[in-house]
């Protein structure tokens, strides 16, 4: 813990002590709490543990304190679950009791204190938002209607890489082109629109605003103000920056996308895209206009970014494992024939490609702690008392990478999903592997993410030998963990050497 942070803690100590004593006298409850490190008065475990609560640090604590443990982070109770049995209890068996969401000072700003779907508490508003979003986004019909568009966007990526001479020699940062693809995949569904190129000014404006949102929300730097509320004055500049950014993003969503669909819908009455469905719900009084904009906010982050991270991780692992890349290429040729492009219906006939996708989601889980859960009322878990409004983290990455539960867990080995783990699927039929969560608050975007990842990786492997840049044996896969995310630290330069037809 650095000196500046310690000074901040001491500045708030007296006021926090008074508050803690008052709360203790008012509540007066005695709990049988989960085990955990002994903490200091007021600040709890904060000075011991620090702000960086990433999946690997929490795995280390789980090895010391067990499959469920408690961290007292100032005024926050943080309960960490690290076994499949307790993950099932939180996500499924007691899905209602632990079905709410906890936010923090930054996510309160970006979600309007839960006016969206992802971060709202479990209740009527969440049920309404989930219902309104399911039909236009999360059904097999949506996949059937949009798969040709996804395949077209993947084809254009391949074409652009083949047309770039640097791609086959020095290499390019493929992520930059894949980012455009992901925006087009989602904006086709959402607004019946696409961006023409990576030079599109509106695309670059939107990309920059969303990138800043990601940096501000995923940072651990603001945790002290969430854990110790009396220290929030030190966050004033940071939170003002978040507020200003949210205003800018919402204005771009409104001016360039939502209003255009609203005018078209009023003119023709024809429902052409997801936003038209959502605007119809607003017209009927089911949601308000802020809810409409927060749905756009969710899709910009939860659908676009997380899928892009997974594709980027998958590419990195294929570059670093050329034998797996070649085996995948051979499967595609054997099943589809030489020169036949992978399409969405083909994925079920390509088990090794499916295994590569699952292994990417296992080893390099984009949301390793899932989105945090919360119990609105006092609850029980594994015989322990869980105080109301505790933040519940399921360390899904540890469940999927625990060497006690997986053979050679630290290896990128897609074969496991064809051999000893062949019955395990990404939708959570086994609580050791829940990359999208399970139950009421699971990520419905799985129905879009899996085919997009499969199509993209399949098309790239079909068309290119994917290599590290000249002079390197491998590309760097150092992680960059965030509040909920697990991104690759350095966006890799990859050589895309075209294969002979």
Distance CA 493, CA 474 (A): 11
Looking at residue 40, what is its pLDDT?
92
pLDDT bucket at 8, cuts 50 / 70 / 90: low
**Res. 436: pLDDT tops 90:** yes
Distance CA 402, CA 415 (A): 17
Domain locations in the chain? 31-498
Residues 409 and 401: beta-carbon distance below 8 Å: yes
Give percent of the chain above pLDDT 70.
94
Pick from 500, 496, 487: nearest CA to 215? 487
pLDDT digits (tens, 9 = 90+) for 149-205: 999 999 999 999 999 999 999 999 999 999 999 999 999 999 999 999 999 999 999
**Res. 31: pLDDT tops 90:** no
Domain covering 31-498, topology: Cytochrome p450 (1.10.630)
Looking at residue 15, what is its pLDDT?
45
What rounded mean pLDDT belongs to the chain?
Answer: 93
pTM over 0.95: no
**Res. 3: pLDDT tops 80:** no
Q: What 3 state SS string does 306-370 have?
A: HHHHHHHHHHHHHHHCHHHHHHHHHHHHHHHCCCCCCCHHHHHHCHHHHHHHHHHHHHCCCCCCC
Pick from 433, 485, 423, 462: nearest CA to 154? 462
Q: What's the mean pLDDT in 67-79?
A: 97
- Strand 486-488 and strand 479-481: the pairing is antiparallel
Q: Where are the alpha helices (DSSP H) in 192-235?
A: 201-218, 223-227
Residues 6+ apart with CB under 8 A from 1: 47, 50
Binding residues for heme: 443
pLDDT digits (tens, 9 = 90+) for 244-279: 999 999 999 999 999 999 999 999 999 999 999 999
pLDDT digits (tens, 9 = 90+) for 443-487: 999 999 999 999 999 999 999 999 999 999 999 999 999 998 999
Pick from 361, 367, 368: nearest CA to 417? 361
Give percent of the chain above pLDDT 90.
92
Looking at residue 30, what is its pLDDT?
80
Residues 6+ apart with CB under 8 A from 69: 34, 35, 36, 61, 62, 79, 80
Sign of CA dihedral 366, 434, 362, 316: negative
pLDDT digits (tens, 9 = 90+) for 112-144: 999 999 999 999 999 999 999 999 999 999 999
Binding residues: 443
| CB atoms inside a 10 Å sphere around CB 172 | 21
């Amino acid at each position: 813990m650095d000196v500046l942070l310690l000074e901040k803690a001491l500045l708030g100590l007296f006021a926090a002590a008074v508050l803690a004593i008052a709360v203790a006298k008012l509540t007066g409850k005695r709990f049988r709490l989960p085990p955990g490190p002994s903490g200091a008065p007021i600040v709890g475990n904060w000075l011991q543990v620090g702000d960086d609560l990433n999946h690997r640090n929490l795995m280390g604590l789980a090895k010391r304190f067990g499959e469920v443990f408690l961290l007292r982070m100032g005024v926050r109770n943080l309960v960490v679950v690290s076994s499949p049995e307790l993950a099932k209890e939180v996500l499924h068996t007691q899905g209602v009791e632990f079905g709410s969401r906890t936010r923090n000072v930054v996510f309160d700003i970006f979600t309007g204190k839960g006016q969206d779907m992802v971060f709202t508490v479990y209740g009527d508003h969440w049920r309404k938002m989930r219902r309104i979003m399911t039909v236009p986004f999360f059904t097999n019909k949506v996949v059937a209607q949009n798969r040709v568009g996804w395949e077209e966007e993947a084809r254009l990526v391949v074409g652009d890489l083949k047309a770039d001479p640097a791609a086959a020699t020095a290499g390019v940062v493929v992520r930059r082109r894949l980012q455009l693809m992901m925006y087009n995949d989602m904006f086709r569904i959402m607004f019946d629109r696409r961006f023409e190129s990576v030079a599109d000014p509106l695309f670059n404006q939107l990309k920059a605003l969303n990138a800043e949102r990601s940096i501000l929300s995923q940072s651990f730097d603001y945790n002290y103000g969430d854990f110790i509320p009396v220290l929030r004055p030190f966050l004033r500049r940071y939170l003002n920056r978040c507020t200003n950014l949210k205003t800018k993003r919402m204005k771009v969503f409104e001016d360039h996308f939502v209003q255009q669909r609203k005018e078209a819908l009023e003119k023709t009455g024809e429902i052409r895209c997801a936003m038209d469905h959502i605007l119809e719900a607003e017209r009927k009084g089911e949601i308000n206009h802020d809810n409409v904009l927060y749905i756009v906010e969710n899709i910009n982050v939860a659908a676009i970014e997380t899928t892009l991270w997974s594709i980027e991780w998958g590419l990195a692992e294929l570059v670093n494992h050329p034998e797996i890349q070649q085996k995948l290429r051979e499967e595609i040729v054997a099943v589809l024939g030489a020169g036949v492009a992978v399409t969405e219906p083909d994925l079920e006939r390509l088990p090794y490609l499916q295994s590569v996708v699952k292994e990417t989601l296992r080893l390099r889980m984009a949301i390793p702690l899932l989105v945090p859960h919360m119990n609105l009322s006092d609850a029980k878990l594994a015989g322990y008392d869980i105080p109301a409004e505790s933040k519940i983290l399921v360390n899904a990455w540890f469940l999927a990478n625990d060497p006690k539960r997986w053979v050679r867990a630290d290896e990128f080995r897609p074969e496991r999903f064809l051999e000893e783990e062949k019955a395990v699927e990404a939708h959570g039929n086994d609580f050791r592997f829940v990359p999208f969560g399970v139950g009421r608050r699971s990520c419905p975007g799985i129905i879009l993410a899996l085919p997009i990842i499969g199509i993209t990786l399949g098309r790239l492997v079909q068309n290119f030998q994917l290599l590290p840049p000249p002079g390197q044996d491998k590309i760097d896969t150092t992680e960059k963990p965030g509040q909920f995310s697990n991104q690759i630290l350095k966006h890799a330069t990859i050589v895309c050497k075209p294969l002979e037809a």
